[in-house]
Amino acid sequence: MKKFFALFFSLFIVFAIANAQVDKDFDKLKSAYLHIQNENYQEAYNYFKEVLNIYPKEPIYNYYVGRCLFFLDKDPMVSLKYLRFAATKEVPEDVYYFLGRAYLNNYQFDKALENLEWFKKRASKKQIRELELDNYISMAQNGLYLSKYVKKPLVYSKKKSQLDHFYENYIFDEQVGTFVDKFDFFSLTKDSVKEQSILFVPGLKTEHEVFYFSDINEKRGDYDIYRITRLSDTSWSEPENLGDIINTPFDENYPYLHADGTTLYFASKGHYGMGGYDLYRSSWNWDKQEWTEPENLDFPINSPFDDILFVPSPNKKTAFFASNREAVKPNIMVYKLKLSSAEPYIETKNHEELVELSKLMVNISAESEKGRVVSEKNKPDQYELVKLKGKESILYKTKYDSLLDLAIQHQLKADSLKWIIDEKRMVFENTKEGQERAKISTIIIELEREIYRLQKDADNCYAQVRQIEQANLASQKSIYEDGKKTEKSDKNETTEVPVKTNVFVEPVQDSIQKSYLLMVNEGDDEPFSDYGLRIEVLAIYHLKNSIPVNKILPEGIVYMIQLGVFSSEKNPEVFKGLTPLFCIKNDNSTNRKYFAGMFQYLAEAEKNLPIVKSKGFKDAFVVAFNSNKPIAIKEAVQLESVKNNPTQKVVNKNSIDHSKKENDLSIIYVLKGQINANDSMIVINSKANLPENTDLYFQKKNEESFFIIKPFLSYDEASIARTKLKDLIKSEIEIHAYFAENQIPLEQARKITK
């Protein structure tokens, strides 16, 4: 009897330990899943990597490990290894979202676009909104364009620094100024939730100093750029928002007004960019008293990561900026570049070349005075403040100098593009294949259009420079309003003598031979479709193919996105590659309405609306037409044909809603089998013999049909049901295990639920 009790007690202990281990394993699984939902990726990774070592071919654990590594490792190739494997199996559809973002970070913009658009077809409206899917699609499209032609960077140094005070590595001449934390400068209480805000303080204190900084827009909740004027040592003006040209509904931060008093550099997540914070510049338009449209500083200064605080030296020969492309919080990398407008643009060949360029490897020797930017030795009065009229900003250089700088920049960039065109024309002449010739001709047209724009901007600047020169010659006064010096004459009298200035002589411009090449479609290519919306890197609309006006629309309901109403015809470049485009103009009016995209269903139009808004058309909206006549959206929806739902569900009459139970963090078992048309009725009839808490689904993939019965709460329950069905159906029936709607190894599930 004692032996019996001893054996019984031993077995009891063994079962207790086994049950405790099972509970512990299940708790670990639930905990890891919750870590994923709460974005605690390091904790989740520790568990899923351990389980993946046991089940290396299990798709769901490859998916979770790849998803965690996407956020934990800066090298996208690490996460791509797992995500690519998982995508070939049955895992959550958002694997294509993470694949797209990983490809984006790896500069494979074409693959990023392919995966993101694939996921968008399967995503819900909630997923599209919460994951900001349309924004990432735009980033991939922009990346294709911005990385096509680039300048090879000249890098003096790269240094890892703490994010909290990285700007201390921006070392300039003391007279230029310093960067400080905004909260410290204004003696504000630091808020750990708020994003970092850096302020540039000029070295020479002057009356009515203007400071640029970033702060939260209380109406929208995003970060905007503001400026504020020091009225005295103790008082300030009200902060002034820089307006919609600079600020977007997304974040803008890290502003810096250059010493030329005209050029503003800043970082933005909302303008035309390739991901994260991109860097931009905008110039103050003296005539219109407004900022010009921000210009992206291009790859490889910009990347799909956060690139911030671009600060050129006063002579614009060197610059600092920071990026997290090679660093993880709390660190960031600070780069020092040599700026050279004379460097030609080169055409990139593949993504490996882009990855190499993005690393910004040090490739030129450091300056003799290490860590310092040698400032240009200007005349003492060259950076004196200029007295301006009305509401003009306080600037650090004269209008004459600023316009001259802009003119030279535009001219040099136009000249470098001419060099590329000459090279392309030589390639065109030696190319025989028609499709390739058409492709090259499109590139040449695009480059010529860009040269024309740059040359026009340069000519406008030169014209204003000449006006200032003529005005000063006529008045015999210096172009600097405050630029007078006192000199003593031979008679010891003090007289006002104008400061001599170097008058810029405009160089003789090279004539640009414009020979527009027409694209010839060869073979039986499909005609261009007006349906849908896409962003064309090489725009199809130009001088030879203008935007169609009053085009006859297809019969029935058609939706389009209205971009705006304009009083004159617009250059296609204004619409930033949006395709297709349409224009409607009434005979009795000069106003023109421009539209983008064409859709058969309202849902499709609404999905594409954020893409249009991300291109700068913030007031765009969806309109409807019926047989070429505008109608109300409500009326269009009533007339719109609704597609049948391809998924069928067969439910018992006495069944109840078990969705809440299925959404619990529990393990369930599912029966799945392939059937033909004759078997479907057998499965439906046999459903009466299955547990009441199960539902029957039919699913069609490609040309094959499947049935699914779920949920079973134990393996034994699912196994009994499979035996009953196998007596009726000849095809193989499989048992699968799921946790949180994701398939997990059957062996692991049985171990936990045993």
Question: DSSP string covering 319-332, please?
Answer: EEEEESTT--TTEE
pLDDT in tens, 353-410: 999 999 999 988 754 444 444 443 443 333 333 333 343 343 434 566 667 767 777 7
3-class secondary structure, 225: strand
Whether the ω angle into residue 330 lies within 30 degrees of 0, i.e. cis, is yes
Give the pLDDT of residue 654. 35
β-bridge partners, 560: 623
**CATH class of the domain whose range is 23-146:** mainly alpha
Identity (one letter) of the amino acid at 87? A
Which are the contacts of 689, defined by CB distance < 8 A and separation ≥ 6?
A: 724
Angle at the Cα of 150 from the Cα atoms of 148 and 152, rounded to 5 degrees: 145
The pairing of strands 733-739 and 704-712 is unpaired
Give the pLDDT of residue 386. 36
- Please give the Cα distance from 14 to 282 (Å, whole number): 73
Give the pLDDT of residue 226. 92
Average pLDDT of the chain to the nearest whole number: 76
Give the pLDDT of residue 518. 32
Mean pLDDT in runs of 10 for the chain (754 residues)?
51 50 75 86 91 90 92 89 88 91 92 92 88 90 87 89 87 69 72 70 69 86 88 79 90 89 91 91 86 91 93 88 89 90 81 90 66 40 37 47 71 72 76 75 78 79 71 49 40 41 35 31 42 78 82 87 84 84 83 89 87 83 88 79 42 37 70 73 68 77 76 87 78 85 83 76
Residue 500 CA: distances (Å) to CA of 386, 400, 472, 590: 17, 14, 12, 50
Count other Cβ atoms within 10 Å, centred on residue 138. 25
Residue with the two structure tokens 């709607």: 741
3-class secondary structure, 697: strand
Residue 400 CA: distances (Å) to CA of 57, 259, 363, 387, 568: 68, 14, 36, 13, 32
- Specify the DSSP element, H or E, that contains 555: none
404 touches 133 (CB < 8 A): no
- Please give the Cα distance from 188 to 74 (Å, whole number): 34
The strand order across the sheet containing 667-675 reads 648-650, 695-701, 704-712, 667-675, 733-739, 742-744
Buried-exposed string 22-41: b where 16+ CB fall within 10 A, e elsewhere: eeeebeebeebbebbeeeeb
pTM given for the model: 0.59
Six-digit token pair at 217? 């827009």
Angle between helices 746-753 and 715-726 (to 10 degrees): 120
Domain 648-753 adopts which CATH fold?
Alpha-Beta Plaits (3.30.70)
- Please give the Cα distance from 320 to 156 (Å, whole number): 10
Give the pLDDT of residue 648. 47
pLDDT in tens, 479-503: 333 343 444 444 444 444 443 333 3
The pairing of strands 578-579 and 534-535 is antiparallel
Which are the contacts of 230, defined by CB distance < 8 A and separation ≥ 6?
A: 208, 209, 210, 211, 236, 237
Give the pLDDT of residue 666. 82
For residue 545, the 8-state DSSP code is B
568 touches 593 (CB < 8 A): no
3-class secondary structure, 497: strand
Give the pLDDT of residue 732. 82
Residue 432 half-sphere exposure toward CB, CA atoms < 13 A: 0
Buried-exposed string 177-202: b where 16+ CB fall within 10 A, e elsewhere: eebebbeeeeeeeeeeeeebbbbbeb
